[in-house]
Structure 1
Amino acid sequence: MTGVIAQSVHIESPYSAEAEAFIGDLRREYGQADYWLQPDCLDMPTLWVAPETLLPLLRHLKTEISRPFLMLYDLSAIDERLRLHRGEREAQQPQSDFTLVYQLLSLERDLFIRIKVALPESRLSVPSAIPVWACANWYEREVWDLFGIGFVGHPNLRRIMMPSTWQGHPLRKDHHARATEVDPFSLSPEKQRAEQEALLFKPEEWGMSRASDSSEFMFLNLGPNHPSVHGVFRVALQLDGERIVDAVPDIGYHHRGAEKMAERQAWHSYIPYTDRIDYLGGVMNNLPYVLALEQLAGIPVPPRAQTIRVMLCEFFRIASHLVFYGTFAQDVGQMSPVFYMFVDREKLFGIIEAITGGRMHPSWFRIGGVAQDLPEGWDKMVREFLDYMPKRLREYEGMVLKNKILQQRTRGIGVYNTDEALEWGATGPGLRATGLEWDLRKRRPYSGYDQFEFDIPTYDGGDCYDRCRVRVEEIWQSLRIIRQCLDNMPSGPYKSDHPLTTPPLKARTMHDIETLIQHFVNNSWGPVMPAGEVCVAVEATKGLNSYQIVSDGGTNAYRARIRTPSFPHLQMIPLLSRGLLVSDLIAIIASIDFVMADVDR
């Protein structure tokens, strides 16, 4: 790797203007030639660095470079041991058994970059990045849990997704993917005792002390089965009376191996799995996945298909925010709003069902477009909803946002500022509630969002109340976007005629044997995507959601990394709740608006 690094600074940049500006700044301001710029990663600048020079580069990118990268957006890994295609000969990636992938975001530059570290199987460790970014804590635990890569200096490197008694690291290529690949499960008395012993709560293992100089602490489990934790989620509370000394989240109860399943599902047949990540976001989950594959294969999407996608995504943004709005009010003591809002959600699902045939999980987006064209009468249904909803929102404002008790319960509670939001990886409404006007649909438009007029709601309190207000205003903006889709729906095809769209259009299927074979293969095995790597993010209902796809030139993903907004948001709970009351924690949890499937995957 060292020999490759030495010549890195002479490679011409093939990237966008923003990326070229970053590469120029890096060469001028970093003053080191200890990285290699990978020239064939066209989705974002990708730098390879040795383990011993990782932290100096990360620190420079966060604190010293002009227009810095203040957010550690994601951290994941790739088991390279079975991979065949790792770049063209002139851009061959450094040899590695495992590769660490750090993804950084500069909001000033509107730019994502990757930092990669090549690791041999004999030395699977790097220095912890927690001194640079606090949010690296959970990401490093996840990588250690699922890949077995260590992080020197991590304060509590233990499993986060899998049970503490789990054997092996599931995202390694040599770990089984199906239960049928191992012996049938059995629970001997010895194993049962060991499992029960592992479940014993030991405060020291959670970074807590049993007593202070003046009193003993009480420990309380909130969850993992409790109506106020919005899913299978546990918070271990260290209490001094009713005052929270510490609140340590415990996740993983909903882990289903979504990334592992991507390695054995065809590109097309994996689409329904994406719906179940943020199960309140519906087709919003399909979008980053199909966008990534379309970018990887160079598949153009017709304007009509793009507009249909935008309309359906904004419908699901409203549906998700209505669930948040009602349950937020419910968690602080209001029972009525959630029932009214679920009525509106049902009306919305009626439209989605008429268009897609599904409700919560229609799995309707396709590689190259959508599953079918809009049905007759869709416009009448959409227009009726757009005319109906504003009056309801005004009623809810008086019922919820202007309620003095709710304001007293949520204003000044769970506060964080913009700097803290970036430090912990907060995105979406939680970031905009700190006063920062940053929305991916505006800053890095995708799917034609640059053709729509809408505003980015912001408030600057950074508390539970403002996180609610931002989402309420986003409902208004989504209605505005949907009306533009209704009034300006383009004509034309609903899917690209590119040969890798799935399933392919049937129009020319019977013309000759070649098109018949292509249709049969694409429907049975799915398309063969070109080898390469791409990552596409979208402004999802709860923040930024992205799919990092690694293709080895086959019919399924070699690696599919799902970055979700809820994962870093939950890591902020200790920061937001220390010194407050247990009742305040319930309001904080409600204001985060997370989904546990989005966290655990």
Structure 2
Amino acid sequence: MTATAPTTLAPERIIPDSLSEKITDLHKASGIPTPLLRQTTRDGVATFWITPAALRPVLAGLKHAAPTTHMLFDLTAIDERGRRHRDEQPAASFTVVYHLMSLTTRADEARLKVALTGDSPVLPGISDLWASANWYEREIWDLFGIRFEGHPFLRRILTPPTWTGHPLRKDHHARATEMPPYSLTEDEEMRQQDAMRFDPSLWGMKRHSDHSDFMFLNLGPNHPSVHGVFRIILQLEGERIVDAVPDIGFHHRGAEKMGERQSWHSYIPYTDRVDYLGGVMNNFPYVMAVETLAGITVPPRAQMIRVMLAELFRIASHLVFYGTMAQDVGQLSPVFYMFTDRERVFGVIEAICGFRMHPAWFRIGGVAMDLPAGWEGLIRAFIDDLPRRLDEYDAMVMRNPIFKARTKGVGAYTTAEAVEWGVTGPGLRACGLSWDYRKQAPYACYGDLEFEIPTGNNGDCYDRIAVHIEEIRQSLRIIRQCIDNMPAGRVKADHPLTTPPPRARTMHDIETLIHHFLSVSWGPVIPPGEARACIEATKGLNSYFLISDGGTTSWRTRIRTPSFPHLQMIPLLSRGVLIADLIAIIGSIDFVMADVDR
């Protein structure tokens, strides 16, 4: 089966289509009479429609065929009701989408889609196959109302337990102005208070010993070490952790829902606020996905400017991680030195973009404007000085015996466990796997740049920190190459769907002025289709999966963030350790709650 034919299809993958071949073979072996249907998408990722009966046999076969390389990268849903452009796709009220990734030499990806009908659809759960599916299935139940049979703890995860409805359904309000004025009666207040009562049995906790008393401790939701509004319910025996249950959703702002109400262009500033330490790094996969849908080719100069700015933000984010990690385990001085360097990065970013943390500077088709006069000297001065300061920080932090004692051998996990839980980025490379999306599936101009992939050996807190630090040095190397090889030319594609369009086309006559007004106020009309773009963000892989129904807004905006699956590992890493060790583990994960809750 094929979706609406795109104007241009993404080029074929460089690697053999091995993951899709395995899916095809496993479907045949399952004996399901319904044929396996293939859909053509704009991004070139192999996409198959599969029946609910064939879902578990196929996924179980994939998992058992290569448990250490096949990752459940993402799991989400689509409300298909009212969508117009679904040519040759199976009839469905809702679609559940499984995005799989094989961590082979190069990135090998595939999608499985399951069509569901009715207002209360049900699907077999797979949290027993991939541990990371647990939170994803809860998210789908919470936001779409799709129930997963066999799930051990299917309750809301991003919205309060008293929430009414499922927010990502199309019939759910998108703005407060669509609802009556808010009021809180005494009865409703009591109901809300009762819902907040903690019952260990409802959270899956149980007595682990017949002759011990347990204490339950709330770590958060307001605690310096949890880096945001985040709660972990700890079951303790003395100071040792018996069990831990993360509780997220306090920071949920409906970023995906907002992506489906804003125009394609006006949503760009919202992306900055997801990983709020990543700045334009958040714009990157979003505009790439829109460009794939629209068939826009970004000029080489704009591509290199994007990479240079993204790596500056990687350095800024990693400096925050480095300083706060040291602070979490008791070193108070390093964070002040490292935040000073971060301020220097922001000075460079502000000189180029006009803003510091959230410049929203990338545009559909390129960047907002060309580099200003003097940009080269400003960046060179920074990248020439930072290596010396990093050497000082190594002596201050990484070679400090107390810091080593607090982090070495603490919070360790294997490569197989990382894949099981959907870990990407520095957390995956700290296990020893040399895998970086910038190398495995090069985007923008990364394929033309030379840099190394830092790795660790033990997958513990210390190695995760060491990988971050070496990534700062590699980012400096990338930025230097961008300065030395910056091409001349345009900074925005000459394409009718770039937004806003080039100023030269706006004042020629009344027709071009009208076109400019509509493109800015309503946004471009993007052709129908589906596309996903993925980048190696500051904390791991960040991707946007966008669906256009041929309008000025997205039909479905899916944001796959790295922090969401990473926090799900906390129970695995914390059982049996001391509370003080948990603080080090939390700090070493490198997350921000907006990246988790969206």
Question: What is the TM-score of this pair, normalised by structure 1?
Answer: 0.95
SS at match of 2:57: helix
Q: Which amino acid letter does the alignment assign opposite residue 311 of structure 1?
A: M
Equivalence map 1:494-513=2 (5 Å): 494-513=491-510
Q: Which amino acid letter does the alignment assign opposite residue 450 of structure 1?
A: G
Structure 1 gap segments, 5+ residues each: 6-12
SS at match of 1:31: helix
SS at match of 1:261: helix
Structure 1 pair 319–79 and aligned structure 2 pair: CA distance change class (3 A): same
Q: Which shifted more, 218-227 or 52-61?
A: 52-61
CA–CA separation in structure 1 for the residues paired with 2:201 and 2:22: 45
Equivalence map 1:231-270=2 (5 Å): 231-270=228-267
Q: Which amino acid letter does the alignment assign opposite residue 306 of structure 1?
A: Q
- 1:164-198 deviations in Å (ceiling 9; x for gaps): 00110000001111111111111111111111111
CA–CA separation in structure 2 for the residues paired with 1:222 and 1:40: 44
Structure 1 pair 70–149 and aligned structure 2 pair: CA distance change class (3 A): same
Equivalence map 1:519-538=2 (5 Å): 519-538=516-535
Structure 1 pair 58–28 and aligned structure 2 pair: CA distance change class (3 A): closer
Does 1:106 find its partner at 2:97? no
| Deviation, structure 1 residue 24 | 4.1
| Equivalent residue number for residue 588 of structure 1 | 585
SS at match of 2:113: strand
CA–CA separation in structure 2 for the residues paired with 1:293 and 1:368: 9
Q: Which amino acid letter does the alignment assign opposite residue 290 of structure 2?
A: L
| Deviation, structure 1 residue 460 | 1.2
Does 1:566 find its partner at 2:567? no
2:597 pairs with one of 572, 597, 600: 600
| Deviation, structure 1 residue 424 | 0.1
Contact 1:351–1:381 (8 Å) recurs in 2: yes
- 1:435-468 deviations in Å (ceiling 9; x for gaps): 0000000010001101100000001110000000
Contact 2:11–2:44 (8 Å) recurs in 1: no
| Equivalent residue number for residue 362 of structure 2 | 365
Structure 1 pair 223–123 and aligned structure 2 pair: CA distance change class (3 A): closer
Contact 2:27–2:36 (8 Å) recurs in 1: no
- The number of aligned residues is 586
2:273 pairs with one of 272, 276, 285: 276
Does 1:480 find its partner at 2:481? no
CA–CA separation in structure 2 for the residues paired with 1:41 and 1:488: 31
Equivalence map 1:320-359=2 (5 Å): 320-359=317-356
CA–CA separation in structure 2 for the residues paired with 1:39 and 1:418: 33
1:441 pairs with one of 432, 438, 441: 438
Q: Which shifted more, 547-556 or 206-215?
A: 206-215
Contact 2:301–2:490 (8 Å) recurs in 1: yes
Q: Which amino acid letter does the alignment assign opposite residue 86 of structure 2?
A: R
CA–CA separation in structure 2 for the residues paired with 1:427 and 1:132: 19
SS at match of 1:18: coil
| Equivalent residue number for residue 5 of structure 2 | none
Structure 1 pair 26–220 and aligned structure 2 pair: CA distance change class (3 A): closer
Equivalence map 1:137-216=2 (5 Å): 137-210=134-207, 212-216=209-213
CA–CA separation in structure 1 for the residues paired with 2:565 and 2:531: 22
Contact 2:18–2:108 (8 Å) recurs in 1: no
SS at match of 1:409: helix
Structure 1 stretches of 4+ with a deviation exceeding 6 A read: none
Cα RMSD of the aligned pairs, angstroms, is: 1.6
Contact 1:262–1:270 (8 Å) recurs in 2: yes
Q: Which amino acid letter does the alignment assign opposite residue 94 of structure 1?
A: P
| Equivalent residue number for residue 86 of structure 1 | 86
Contact 1:68–1:106 (8 Å) recurs in 2: no
CA–CA separation in structure 2 for the residues paired with 1:17 and 1:480: 26
| Deviation, structure 1 residue 16 | 3.0
Contact 2:94–2:116 (8 Å) recurs in 1: yes
Contact 2:41–2:531 (8 Å) recurs in 1: no
Contact 1:67–1:106 (8 Å) recurs in 2: no
2:307 pairs with one of 284, 307, 310: 310
Contact 1:19–1:44 (8 Å) recurs in 2: no
Structure 2 gap segments, 5+ residues each: 3-9
| Equivalent residue number for residue 37 of structure 1 | 38
CA–CA separation in structure 2 for the residues paired with 1:141 and 1:344: 40
Contact 1:161–1:255 (8 Å) recurs in 2: yes
SS at match of 1:538: strand
| Deviation, structure 1 residue 30 | 4.7
Contact 2:80–2:95 (8 Å) recurs in 1: yes
| Equivalent residue number for residue 10 of structure 1 | none
Question: What is the TM-score of this pair, normalised by structure 2?
Answer: 0.96
Q: Which shifted more, 307-316 or 123-132?
A: 123-132
| Deviation, structure 1 residue 18 | 3.1
SS at match of 1:363: coil
